[in-house]
Amino acid sequence: MTSTPLLNIEGLRTYFYSRSKQAFIRSVDNVSLAIARGETLGVVGESGSGKSVTALSVMGLITAAPGVISGRIEFTSGGVARNLLENLDRYVQLTEEHGRIMGVAKDAAGWRKNAEHLLGRVRGKEIGMIFQNPKAALNPFTTVGKQIAEVVQLHTSHKGVGEARERAIHWLERVKIDSPRLRYDNHPFGLSGGMCQRAMIAMALSSEPSLLIADEPTTGLDATIQSKIVDLLAELKQDIGITTMLISHDISVIKRLSDRVAVMYGGTVVENGPAAEILAGDAASRHPYTAALLASIPNETHVREKTPLLAIEGEVLDTINTPAGCRFYARCNRVTDKIRQQCERCEPDLREIEPGHRVRCWLYFD
Ligand SMILES: Nc1ncnc2c1ncn2[C@@H]1O[C@H](COP(=O)(O)OP(=O)(O)OP(=O)(O)O)[C@@H](O)[C@H]1O
Ligand code: SF4
Ligand SMILES: [Mg+2]
């Protein structure tokens, strides 16, 4: 990546405190990733790997304490890169042992006030978000058209009621809602799931953001509607070229839309690089977790030859007692005698193995 990325996350840590277990859940634990302007970064990983918490941290939408506690979220706006977590570390005191955070004392009110000042400016305006459940995200008491027009008035130069309305209709047309002028006056309950998702995409785009975060935009929709929403996202990518962080369980969606892919496991990124390389299917060239993840997804050969799918054996990582070594060690089938001790005792860094392709695995370090 040569130019400054639009979004550059470094060493992000977002923990929650579990009162019942009296311990920290390390939901996001040292996440680093970057998205260049115009590209779509697909984020994959099994349930609980920290994909949504990463997205919500960028949006400043983590409410439970301690929440986001450290790292950098650099976002470029008007040609200037700003750290959205700037100076917030003064509200947090971390107790570390052997480089690991064991305790957090946080002035939550001070953090919230200042984080709101930094993040509130970009949320919904420069960074738009699409959630999994559009019906829950839209206000049930206001028509979808009005909700979009409000965003237009708040965040763009179209301030007049009439022009905001026309602009909202433009976005409803843009996302191919049939009869957009009629739909403008519908409440969310009057729309199908697919139409609601289109309306939410229209709302996210209507502030003309430079970054769109789509968290499972097709999950929960019927299969035919899913593929129509993917077609729409592909068209919008082609036409508007908006920079996107696309979180999805569905590798076929990731394959279709992503330029680059980040694979998350146990709260961190274990691999990232060009989508074509990561999703190519050559098991030897990538992180053992990525290989296991891809092998667990049905492909045409599985369907045609009725071969059984490989399950990823072992338990999902305990994000409270994360191991000192590689997070994937307990489930990894590629550990060799040469690296066993390192795998068990030290967590590998995310290192570049080819230009623009990084892997967090001792197998690739000399
Ligand atoms: N508010 C919260 N309080 C406590 N723990 C939380 C909270 N939000 C998320 N977590 C925990 O953080 C971890 C990561 O959650 P996250 O929602 O980011 O996973 P995900 O990768 O998006 O999974 P999925 O694919 O199921 O959406 C999980 O163990 C989850 O239980
Ligand atoms: S570092 Fe070791 S345990 Fe971890 S993924 Fe690589 S080979 Fe497996
Ligand atoms: Mg999620």
DSSP per-residue letters across 303-349: HHHTPPPPP--SPPP-SSS--SS-TTGGG-S---TTTHHHHHH-PPP
In this prediction, residue 320 carries a pLDDT of: 86
Q: H or E stretch including 155?
A: helix 144-155
CB atoms within 10 A of CB 102: 11
Is 150 inside any structural domain? Answer: yes
Atom of ligand 2 nearest to the CA of 339: 2
* Residue 19 sits in the same domain as residue 105: yes
Question: What is the pLDDT, as a whole number, of residue 298?
Answer: 67
Q: Identify the pLDDT of residue 347.
A: 94
Q: Which of 330, 52, 75 is nearest to 214 (CA)?
A: 52
**Separation of CA 314 and ligand 1 centre (Å):** 19
Taking CA atoms only, the protein residue closest to ligand 2 atom 3 is: 329
Q: Which of 335, 350, 359 to mutate to test the pocket of ligand 2 (most atoms within 8 A of CB)?
A: 335
Mutation probe of ligand 2 site: the residue of 271, 326, 336 with most atoms within 8 A of C-beta? 326
pLDDT at 268: 96
User: Of 189, 208, 227, at which residue does a domain stop?
Assistant: 208
Considering only CA atoms, which residue is closest to atom 7 of ligand 2?
A: 335
**pLDDT for the residue numbered 309:** 52
Ligand 3 centroid to residue 48 C-alpha, Å: 7
CATH code of 71's domain:
3.40.50.300
Q: Is 317 in the pocket of ligand 1 (CB under 6 A)?
A: no
Range of the domain at 338: 7-126+251-364
Same domain, 264 and 357: yes
| One domain for residues 183 and 323 | no
Is residue 51 lining ligand 1, measured as CB closer than 6 Å? yes
Same domain, yes or no, for 273 and 339? Answer: yes
Alpha-carbon span 216 to 237, nearest angstrom: 16
Q: Which residues contact 150 (CB under 8 A, 6 or more apart)?
A: 164
pLDDT < 50 regions, the chain: 1
Look-up of token digits 């590798």: 251
Distance in angstroms (rounded) separating the CA atoms of residues 206 and 165: 11
pLDDT score, position 330: 94
Domain identity same for 198 and 302: no
Please indicate whether residue 289, judged by its CB atom, sits closer than 6 Å to ligand 1: no
pLDDT in tens, 24-57: 899 999 999 999 999 999 999 999 999 999 999 9
Is 245 inside a domain boundary?
Answer: no
Nearest CA to ligand 2 atom 2: 343
Task: Look at the alpha carbons of 325, 327, 329, 333 in this order and tell me if their dihedral is positive or negative.
Answer: negative
Establish if 161 belongs to a structural domain: yes
If asked whether residues 21 and 162 sit together in one domain, one would say: no
CA 221 to chain centre: 19
CA angle 274, 224, 304 (to 5 degrees): 70
pLDDT of residue 300: 62
Chain-wide mean pLDDT for the chain? 90
Q: Which amino acid is at 281?
A: G
Identify whether residues 114 and 138 lie together within a single domain.
no
User: Do residues 139 and 122 share a domain?
Assistant: no
Do 357 and 264 belong to one domain? yes
219 occurs within a structural domain: no
Tell me what pLDDT residue 97 has. Answer: 79
Q: How many residues does the chain have?
A: 366
Structure token pair of residue 299: 């492909």
- Is 233 among the domain residues? no
105 Cβ partners below 8 Å, 6+ apart?
92, 93, 95
Query: With a 6 A CB cut-off, is 220 part of the ligand 1 pocket?
Result: no
* Ligand 1, atom nearest to 48 Cα: 19
Q: In b/e form, how buried is each residue of 218-257, taking b as 16+ CB within 10 angstroms?
A: beebeeebbebbbebbeebbeeeebbbbbbbebbbbbebb
Residue 2, C-beta contacts closer than 8 angstroms, at least 6 positions apart = none
- Please tell me whether residues 87 and 152 are part of one structural domain: no
The domain tally of the chain equals 2
Span from the CA of 47 to the centroid of ligand 3 (angstroms)? 7
* Helices and strands (H, E) in the chain, number of each type: 13, 14
**Cβ–Cβ < 8 Å for 47, 219:** no
Closest ligand 2 atom number to CA of residue 270: 5
Instruction: Check residue 1 and give its pLDDT.
Output: 46
